[in-house]
Amino acid sequence: MSYDAIVIGAGISGAATAYHLKKAGAKTLLIERGEPASGGTGKSAAIIRQSYSTPLLVRLARASITMLENSRAELGKDAGFVQAGYCFVVSHDMLEGAKKNVAMQKSLGILNEWSDGPGFPERLPDINPDGIAGVVYEPHGGYADPVQATEAYVGAFKALGGEFRARTPVRRLLRAADRVTGVELDDAEVAGNIVVNAAGPWAKPLAESVGLDLPLRTVREQDTVWQVPAGRTIPKTSISMGVDACYFRPLGQGRFIIGRGFPKEYFDVDPYNYKTTADDAFISDVQARVEHRLPAFSGMKLLEAYAALYDVTPDWYPVVGPRAEIAGYADFCGGSGHGFKIAPAIGRELAGWLLTGKTADDFRQFSHDRFAAGNLFVQSFGGNRG
């Protein structure tokens, strides 16, 4: 059997792309080595924000928010988006850049508010002001359920007649001359006019199976889940605590996912063999940073600590789209900690690009071709897991 499009990977990136390809009329096969969101997506904190330093990512984040807001009408299922707001707490070293970014975001129609010093006490109650230069508050931000959102896309894809195969590893890509022609599974070869490599940390070996370079690192990313003692006044928003390089994602009932943001060390690992539990030193470091900044969290109880994977490109921006050197192939990987919140919009634009050959100039820069051309994005943000 042959398909117009084969999408490898049913994380949020592959699921959104497959849905939009099928919605546009393409006969599409979505393949996943496990279950939907069983890779990096399922471990994402899924923080939703628009606080980026480039207009491209701001517009994609804004578009994705609209898509998540409308998921029940569009996909037939709620994506678990809680629009509880988002706060970015800025250190003095970040101050100048943060103010420029806020101005740029407002010029693009983003609704956000700025406070010098530790403002927004209703959002950040009883915060230790030490080292805080300012706070950005986004009322349209918040967090989503990454598994629920991904399953919503997969379900909508199937409802349109798309074919989904779970627990089906792709062993390698197939190539004839200057064209990728399909994929090899355990029991068959499947032909496709276009193959989208959305396999996240496992995308690099797939690309290499047909001689394609993919400058992708796989790094281990740790997270913790804590229970704050009852009766405390605690934030209800998602938070990037830039001043302490931490992020907070509410889970309800006094529980939070808390991890470390940039700057921090990143350790390369084998995506097929890595430690999936968090390190004791990491847990202690997170606890010390949090209890120093938010006294209400003192005495919090650790519920869970785990490690997942980031797939990271040299400039920390994803690799998306077809390549000049090869036909029948497209990338969609390298989302690092930002992939979830921009993936719905990227999936829609990528589907349009693949089916029409046309896309916006700013979106075209995502292509792998940027590395050969020396047209990299400026690395101006780090890796909050979102």
Q: Residues 133-177: pLDDT tens digits?
A: 999 999 999 999 999 999 999 999 999 999 999 999 999 999 999
Q: Specify the pLDDT at position 379.
A: 54
Measured distance CA(253)–CA(229) in Å, rounded: 10
Write down the mean pLDDT value for the chain: 96
Amino acid at 301: K
Q: Which pLDDT tens digit goes with each residue over 101-133?
A: 999 999 999 999 999 999 999 999 999 999 999
Could you tell me if 152 and 109 are in contact, meaning their C-beta atoms sit under 8 angstroms apart? no
pTM comes to 0.96
Q: Which residues of the chain have pLDDT under 70?
A: 379-386
CA angle 149–329–193, rounded 5-degree value: 95
Domains of the chain: 2-65+146-216+314-373 (3.50.50.60), 82-140+218-312 (3.30.9.10)
Q: What are the tokens at 193? A: 């006019």
List all residues 6 or more positions away from 205 whose beta carbon is below 8 Å from its beta carbon: none
Return phi, psi of residue 266, to 5°. Answer: -120, 130
